[in-house]
Structure 1
Amino acid sequence: MLFRLLDEDEDSDRNRSATERSYLPSACLGFNCTGRADGVYEEGCQTATRCVNQTASHLTCMLPKVINSATWLCDSALNVNTPCGTFRDCSIRDDGGFPDLETHCAWYFMCSYGIFYGHHKCAGGLVWNSVLQTCDFPGNTLPPCGTKP
């Protein structure tokens, strides 16, 4: 199986096309589509992996672009649903990660020096723990994201 690394071609931004950048064995990047149904796995706003005919394709978008799951291309956040299509104002926030309460903390966003650095998805069943600045189990996380007393 080959792992196809894709990235947006800046020269064809108006066409929003993706171009093949390089091929790497799927084992090198830690994802194997053998035996998996066609579909998107490990989806986030800037990176995603999908399996088609047991071959993995990896798409990476550079901010401010995000993945449009309907077209499987890098796109403007204006054309994408929440949370990836949602901008957060970081101008009055400290540096760090912040839970996206609209997703029940399954997603979080990063701010640094007043700049919004996009949304990120916690692995299945985990929520954003603001104290530890990482995804964690709900039982280890204070409300509103978790159930820790």
Structure 2
Amino acid sequence: MACGLAAGTVPLPGGTVLRTAHWTVEHCVGPLGVGTLLVKPLRHVTGVDGLSPDEAAEMGPLLTRVSAAVRACAEGVDGCEQVYVCLWSHAGREPGHLHFVVQPARTSDIDRHGGAYGPALQAAMFRAGEQPDPAAVEAFCRRARALLRD
């Protein structure tokens, strides 16, 4: 699915937020809440060890920029306490397309999921299975796109 989203063959709410020479940024299509962005290499790579030198050189600065944009867009909305950045690359226990999840950890989400935070919050959100409102995703992506364009 990650490759299909990047290639435009699978519908992507909010559209592509940013595309660089080696990476794409898009909104998560799963239950991790409005404002959770994915940072993925354009090339199919299943681990950080498979990144090219150019992909690796772009990764750190890009993750910093995307994290700052997520915080700026999420602050003041239900109390963004932290911005998580974590690597995921498994699908069905098989290595899949590498992607970094950049997620605002909001007080409202933590409270709604019994005080869970970090990986426990993400697991609770997956168990709950609540999909974000498409209009809110679109609005968040517009704000993030404007910040990342600068």
**Considering the TM-score relative to the shorter chain, is it more than 0.5?**
no
Q: Which has the higher helix share?
A: 2
Give the number of the structure whose alpha-carbon radius of gyration is greater: 1
From the two aligned structures, give the one with the greater strand fraction.
Answer: 1
TM-score by length of 1: 0.26
TM (norm. structure 2) is 0.26
Higher-RCO chain (CA-CA 8 Å, sequence separation at least 6): 2
